Amino acid sequence: MDDAEQILQDVIQIRTDGDYEARVADYLLKLLDTHHITTKKIEFSKNRSGFIAEIGNDQGPVLGFAGHEDTVALSNPADWTKDPLGGQKVDQRIYGRGATDMKAGLVAAVLAMINLKEQHIPLKGKFRIYGTVGEESGEEGAEKMVAAGMADDLEALMVGEPSGISLKVLQKLSSSLEKLGIITANDVTELLNYNQSSEQHFLEIAHKGALSYDIISHGQTAHSSMPSLGINAVDGLLRFIYEQNIYFEELVKSNNSLLGTTTPVITKISGGEQLNTIPGEARLSILIRTIPEISNQQIIDQLHKILSKVNAKVESQLTMKINFIHEPVFSSSQSKLSKIAQTVGEPLLQQKLGFIGVPGGTDASQFVKANPQLDVLVFGPGNTSAHQVDEYVDTEIFHSFIKVYEQIVARYLA
């Protein structure tokens, strides 16, 4: 066991699946302060703290790194074969909730920063780490940091979310990944033939945004034997669904070269309280994964038009509640950050690294609000065991990413 792995185990052992990120922030801030690195604790509420850490000077650009301290819920701890809060090492793996998503990435960046400082690597510019809270529950930490102007000077941003997949899983999922438009089966075969490690990683330069909203239909209850005395809220909701589906048929025709099409999904629907009562309220929940070609605001504007049209035709009145808006991210494979990461990462990870876009989101959606032209790269230790029972990170990959981050920063700020 070495110091890097012990630090990761310590952080995994801190439970952060709710409002408890402050203990992770305190642990990492103490470690950074020991090495005389400039830090700032960012308090959001009781037991919820993020942080900023920074090395370098004002002689060049600012390269950022975003990593979240929180995790998803443990989910049926009895189903785990390892303690979900144990950080146990077995063979070449460290297990625990958050091991992959994304305490390994955050710890790797912190250790890379410490190594750069201790080795007195000359930098022309600043390397800044953002330790965020609440990424899994809506990216609230990153959102507040960006709103406070803490990212206004960034030129580029790395996000340490897991970017890998085990070779066995990749073989099994190659056809599914091709259907999703992420990578072709032939490209998967080529990567597998070259790979000399346990996982295949990708340079993620794009991911979809997200728009979540509820449509609420307001009617009037009445006895089901006398429906004329009430207003059936479900009827209005059904009319909205019909009109919305017509719009969605057009919406999905736009295409992004890496991300594919916009993906709208109705995820929840409810209405009425009991069988013999006219529903006085009905509700619809929708999540749309968005692409840069059609902005979230354009979609919202069109939804308002649909609402007005439906409200003019039905007795119930419909309203819309926006739950959250996350911007899509799309960067170039030819950016300075992308090219350096590929050059550095391939020999250290012993594999070819291709550029892809993914349907899920990250804190980067908040950072691009401050600078829509921000170069973004999602690249970090970890794999598809995120959010699953027996989540783990490969220790060799973890160590490699510490070196990867060191070299990316050193070259970017050379």
Whether residue 4 contacts residue 402, with contact meaning beta carbons closer than 8 Å, is answered with: yes
Note the pLDDT tens digit of each residue in 215-254.
999 999 999 999 999 999 999 999 999 999 999 999 999 9
My answer on whether 214 and 311 are in the same domain is yes
My answer on whether 141 and 24 are in the same domain is yes
Domain stop point among 326, 352, 377: 326
Residue type, 228: S
My answer on whether 341 and 293 are in the same domain is no
My answer on whether 141 and 267 are in the same domain is no
The pair of three-digit structure tokens given for residue 304, joined into one six-digit string: 């308002």
CATH classification of the domain holding 179: 3.40.630.10
Q: Quick one: pLDDT at residue 19?
A: 82
Whether residue 38 contacts residue 55, with contact meaning beta carbons closer than 8 Å, is answered with: yes
Note the pLDDT tens digit of each residue in 186-217.
889 999 999 999 999 999 999 999 999 999 99
DSSP state of 265: E
CATH classification of the domain holding 259: 3.30.70.360
Domain span including residue 379: 3-208+329-412
Whether residue 164 contacts residue 314, with contact meaning beta carbons closer than 8 Å, is answered with: no
My answer on whether 173 and 246 are in the same domain is no
Q: Quick one: pLDDT at residue 388?
A: 96
Average pLDDT for residues 22-40, to the nearest whole number?
98
- Which residue's structure tokens are 């955050």? 106
Note the pLDDT tens digit of each residue in 308-341.
999 999 999 999 999 999 999 999 999 999 999 9
- The alpha-carbon radius of gyration of the chain (Å, integer) is 24
Q: What is the count of structural domains for the chain? A: 2
pLDDT band at 1 (very low <50, low <70, confident <90, very high): very low
DSSP strand pairing (255-256 vs 317-326): unpaired
My answer on whether 154 and 247 are in the same domain is no
- Which residue's structure tokens are 């070269």? 257
Across all residues in the chain, what is the average pLDDT? 95
177 phi and psi, to 5 degrees?
-65, -35
Q: Quick one: pLDDT at residue 75?
A: 82
- Which residue's structure tokens are 């390892």? 82
Note the pLDDT tens digit of each residue in 155-191.
999 999 999 999 999 988 888 888 878 888 888 999 9
Helix (H), strand (E) counts: the chain: 11, 20
Domain stop point among 326, 341, 372: 326
Note the pLDDT tens digit of each residue in 61-101.
999 999 999 999 998 899 999 999 999 999 999 999 999 99
Distance CA 294, CA 298 (A): 6
My answer on whether 230 and 316 are in the same domain is yes
Domain stop point among 275, 293, 326: 326
Does pLDDT of 2 surpass 80? no
My answer on whether 202 and 265 are in the same domain is no
My answer on whether 128 and 202 are in the same domain is yes
My answer on whether 56 and 131 are in the same domain is yes
My answer on whether 316 and 338 are in the same domain is no
Whether residue 172 contacts residue 314, with contact meaning beta carbons closer than 8 Å, is answered with: no
Give the 3-state secondary structure of residue 26: helix
Q: Quick one: pLDDT at residue 334?
A: 97
Cβ-count burial of 275 within 10 angstroms (0-12 exposed, 13-18 middle, 19+ buried)?
exposed
Whether residue 283 contacts residue 214, with contact meaning beta carbons closer than 8 Å, is answered with: yes
Give the H/E segment covering residue 27. Answer: helix 22-34
Nearest to 94 by CA among 107, 104, 102: 104
Whether residue 363 contacts residue 380, with contact meaning beta carbons closer than 8 Å, is answered with: no
Whether residue 117 contacts residue 406, with contact meaning beta carbons closer than 8 Å, is answered with: no
Note the pLDDT tens digit of each residue in 292-304.
999 999 999 999 9
My answer on whether 7 and 134 are in the same domain is yes
Q: Quick one: pLDDT at residue 376?
A: 98
Distance CA 175, CA 171 (A): 9
Task: State the pTM of this model.
Answer: 0.92
Cβ–Cβ contacts within 10 Å for residue 23, how many? Answer: 16
